[in-house]
Structure 1
Amino acid sequence: MSLRKVSSEKYIRNAEIAAAAPIAFPVEEYENKEREVFEKKDGVVDFRTVGWPRATGIFLKVIFATGVLSIPTAFASLGAVPGVLSVIGWGALNTYLGVILGNFRAEHPSNHSIADMAGMMGGPILKEMVGALFVIAWILGTGSGIVGIAVALNTFSNHAACTVWWCFLAAFLIAAMASVRTFHAIGWLTWTGFISIFIAVLIVVIGVTLRDRPAGAPQTGPYELGFLVIGHPTFQAGITASATIFVSSAGPVAFVPVIAEMRSPEDYKKALFSCMGFVHASYICFALVVYKWCGTWVTSPSLGSAGPTLQKVSYGVGVFGLLVSGALGLHVAAKFLFVRILRNSRHLQSNTLIHWGTWLSCTFGLCAISFILAEAVPIFNYLLALTGSLCFAPLQIALPGCLYLFQYRNTYKAGTALQKTIYYAHFLLPLLGAFMCAGGTYGVVQSIIDAYANGTVGGVFSCANDSGIV
């Protein structure tokens, strides 16, 4: 599929806008003739019911839970200053890439996902490739949620059952919650889930400051805290830490399906900026405090960093947030497949047997795959880093850069020298995405191999206690 030809009148309008601003986003001036994915009409399920405050809650929950639990571990590799700069840099870039995706979607409201956008740019083959990568990304993201919940259940119960069974229970609960059909219906859970994980992290942040030494450090005798202003990691450790921080805010690629269910898609940027600003301020504050007091003894996930008692308290408060986070990731992937299968069919918005059968097959089927992957890579931060490097680097960095170059390939010609420079600078995004994909995947896979070799991971489908509490 290719974009409709730009009329001369529209081209002139774009050129005038391009000349007026350093970065041209002439999307709101277009008179769009493309239809929204979900239509508002009588006799069908109305999917477009999400307001921007609820969209903000969904965005917060997509990003915050797993990200905030992994960043202190990344600081332990990079050091405090590089860690903060990495959070700021990746956060600013991911926010800007979210703007690019929002603007492209505003111009083409028939797009339900980034795969649809790829299809408009590169045809059906690229669409299917991006769609497959998108689903894999959120399957891995759901897997990290399963691992996090299993750690919580082991913590509550003092490892009363095999970890595989806790993972299975977590997967079932995530699939059941993700099966709620619309983002509006699942939206009320997101604020509750966000508040629960925020309070859980706050408990740990306060708790680590009240201890004489980190919970993970030797409790008698001398020990080295390992706090560094500037770390000196190996390439393998550094790229893994960078991928972890990158993926902690790489959610905008999943925001596109939410826009398709917003009552007023033009309010998307309100939700985007509100979410990203709050998230990254919280990341920096929380991660710095935990790293300052725990140093290299920070745990992954970080909720175990304040000792066994507060670990149980924080997991008790935050387990619902982990559950909602896993469910949202699964919902995003399942909704993509659901729309892909039933699009242009009456079953997409009708309460038919095919409608429900397809939907539940998507949620429970994808969650089964997530469960298997979670058991294969049962280390929280490595699973997140693998998701960031293998999937989100091409989806969140390279592809939005290509979309920008494609969307403004005509309008930039009428711009100033500065505007042309900005346009050409976007060629760096596909290169950065390729580097993070190749380098990050190498680093994470090697780290996983090392973890199996040195006994950090007991094995695939292991019953071993992963809570750190004996």
Structure 2
Amino acid sequence: MSSPITSIDNDNEKKAQFSSRPSKEDPERVVGDIVDLEDHEVFKQNADVDFRTVGWPRATVIFLKLIFATGVLSIPVAMASLGAVGGALSVIGWTVLNAYTALIQGDFRNNHPSCHSIADMAQQVGGVWVKEITGLLFIVANILCAGSGILGVSIGLNALSTHAACTVWWSLLATVVVATTASVRKFHQIGWLTWAGFGSIFAAVLIVVVGVTTRDRPAAAPATGDYELGYYAIAYPTFASGMVASCSIFVSSANTAAFLPVISEMRNPKDYRKALFVCMSIVTGAYLSFSLVVYRWCGQWVASPSLGSAGQTIKMIAYGVGLVGLVVSACLYLHVAAKYCFVRLLRNTRHLQENTLVHWSTWLGLTFGLGSISFVLAEAIPIFNYLLSLTGSLCFAPIAISLPGWLWMHDHKPWAKGSATQRSAYWFHAFLVPLGAFICVAGTYGVIVQILDAYSSGLIGGAFDCADNSGSVSS
């Protein structure tokens, strides 16, 4: 087992002894010797630009902001496909699994502190090719998430202005704002934004939850006459719609690989577990309570994103309150993707932690360049829950389910031939590898089928369409 088993300094973080066998691929781990883990950290303390300034409370809020905002807006729509019981079980199952795989990733990273990202960890177990594939998936995932944030901001601006301008222009404005805020170099400096962003989106969702319970009928339902609410305890979706709904719930808490770069900027990386447990506890409770209430009162008439479910007036209030949260979410996704590329390009050079021309031109080029790609993707797939589902199935299934299982087996090889309990644990983690592959293939198939159906039915007007995407004006 590769976890640190004893501490020998006053800070309980710099030196640890390992009881696993030495590896040529992992020079940090040596049998019987004391290893200075701090020497292997990507960012060194007391450098010209000190990135190691994040405490665990601030890390908790960053984690919350990375997974809470866009996720909570898509789950009520997913419940309309799965039903209340199926949706609730899916929320609990996916958040618990994502919390556990995040724990595996964080423990692995702290045992191998030279790993800055999930791609570095993939190299430890699979070599260069696995690293590059994982790195590509990680970048694409966060670019897609940033795109969903940009799409959410454009929907909010349309709602607030009653579609006063072409949606593409609102998306472009959102991209500029997101890329500018993402250009702040350190997670610590973004800290105050994350507090504001989390409070903003939490308050916005709460407003909608209260708003839907005060209406006689859902805002999107027929104004008069009988109507079918479409609320079911157990629903029977098609395979494609069921996979899209499941992936929407999965992706709402799956971006845990984005936590890893934050660990590299924590003052004490061993505090990661505290931040993770607090974050995932809040997320699970909020997802369940908010989504079940909205689905109970809106049924099949729930909006996507869910902030539009309580009528035009509440929608405008909710988006006005939550706009900061949507911007900060997209900002964090873009920052994480840019930071990964930044470290890959400048690692082991003086430009990584010095205020040089190369340092700044690389950083700003990445934030605005990747932001432009997010803008294009947001306009190409302009339906919020489809964009999130595609992110979950195509990118997060391999790196948030399959890879953590592989990481655990790498650090627990003796368990494969250990006691019955150890063997059971080993093969449970081995099962995560094909599970992630199944979600990737089946989920991507389901999303593609749903997107094609949406285009053929006219639900999606077209890429770079100026039409209102907030439902604030009649077509």
Root mean square deviation of aligned Cα: 1.6
Question: SS state of the match for residue 79, structure 1?
Answer: helix
Contact 1:59 1:251 in 2 (8 A): no
Q: Distance in 2 between matches of 1:30 and 1:446?
A: 55
Note the alpha carbon deviations across 1:308-340, whole angstroms, 9 max, x for none. Answer: 000000000000000000000000000000000
Q: Of the candidates 419, 439, 454, which is equivalent to residue 457 of structure 2?
A: 454
Matched with 2:69 is: 65
- Shift in Å, 1:124: 1.4
Matched with 2:50 is: 46
- 1:139 is aligned to 2:136: no
Q: Distance in 1 between matches of 2:137 and 2:105?
A: 17
Contact 2:141 2:395 in 1 (8 A): yes
- 1:173 is aligned to 2:177: yes
TM-score (norm 2): 0.92
AA of the residue aligned to 2:223 = Q
- 1:36 is aligned to 2:12: no
- 1:91 is aligned to 2:95: yes
Q: Distance in 2 between matches of 1:245 and 1:257?
A: 24
- Shift in Å, 1:166: 0.3
Q: Of the candidates 407, 412, 420, which is equivalent to residue 411 of structure 2?
A: 407
Matched with 1:416 is: 419
Q: Distance in 2 between matches of 1:95 and 1:30?
A: 31
- Shift in Å, 1:414: 6.8
Please give the residue correspondences for 1:264-303 in structure 2 after superposition, counting only pairs within 5 Å: 264-303=268-307
Q: Distance in 1 between matches of 2:17 and 2:423?
A: 16
AA of the residue aligned to 2:75 = I
Contact 1:32 1:107 in 2 (8 A): no
- Shift in Å, 1:123: 1.3
Matched with 1:429 is: 432
Matched with 2:134 is: 130
Q: Distance in 2 between matches of 1:307 and 1:12?
A: 59
Matched with 1:20 is: none
Matched with 2:26 is: none
Please give the residue correspondences for 1:142-221 in structure 2 after superposition, counting only pairs within 5 Å: 142-221=146-225
- Shift in Å, 1:269: 0.4
Q: Structure 1: give runs of 5+ residues left out of the alignment.
A: 4-9, 16-28
- Shift in Å, 1:415: 3.7
Q: Distance in 1 between matches of 2:42 and 2:228?
A: 57
Q: Distance in 1 between matches of 2:416 and 2:437?
A: 27
Fraction of identical pairs, as percent: 61
Q: Distance in 1 between matches of 2:189 and 2:176?
A: 19
- 1:311 is aligned to 2:315: yes
- 1:330 is aligned to 2:330: no
- Shift in Å, 1:188: 1.2
Which stretch has the larger CA shift, 343-352 or 413-422?
413-422
Matched with 2:6 is: none
Matched with 1:82 is: 86
Q: Distance in 2 between matches of 1:233 and 1:415?
A: 43
AA of the residue aligned to 2:67 = I
Q: Distance in 2 between matches of 1:63 and 1:129?
A: 23
- Shift in Å, 1:32: 4.5
Question: SS state of the match for residue 68, structure 2?
Answer: helix
Q: Distance in 2 between matches of 1:276 and 1:147?
A: 25
AA of the residue aligned to 2:355 = N
- Shift in Å, 1:251: 2.2
Contact 2:17 2:34 in 1 (8 A): no
Contact 1:197 1:319 in 2 (8 A): yes
Question: SS state of the match for residue 226, structure 2?
Answer: coil
- 1:367 is aligned to 2:371: yes
Note the alpha carbon deviations across 1:175-200, whole angstroms, 9 max, x for none. Answer: 00000000000011101100000000
TM-score (norm 1): 0.93
Q: Structure 2: give runs of 5+ residues left out of the alignment.
A: 3-15, 22-32
Q: Distance in 2 between matches of 1:264 and 1:304?
A: 41
- Shift in Å, 1:12: 9.2
Contact 1:32 1:108 in 2 (8 A): no
- 1:118 is aligned to 2:122: yes
Contact 1:30 1:107 in 2 (8 A): no
AA of the residue aligned to 1:153 = L
CA 1:292–1:467: 2 relative to 1, 3 Å: same
Q: Distance in 1 between matches of 2:72 and 2:465?
A: 26
- Shift in Å, 1:416: 2.1
AA of the residue aligned to 2:149 = G
Q: Of the candidates 241, 248, 273, which is equivalent to residue 244 of structure 1?
A: 248
Contact 2:175 2:372 in 1 (8 A): yes
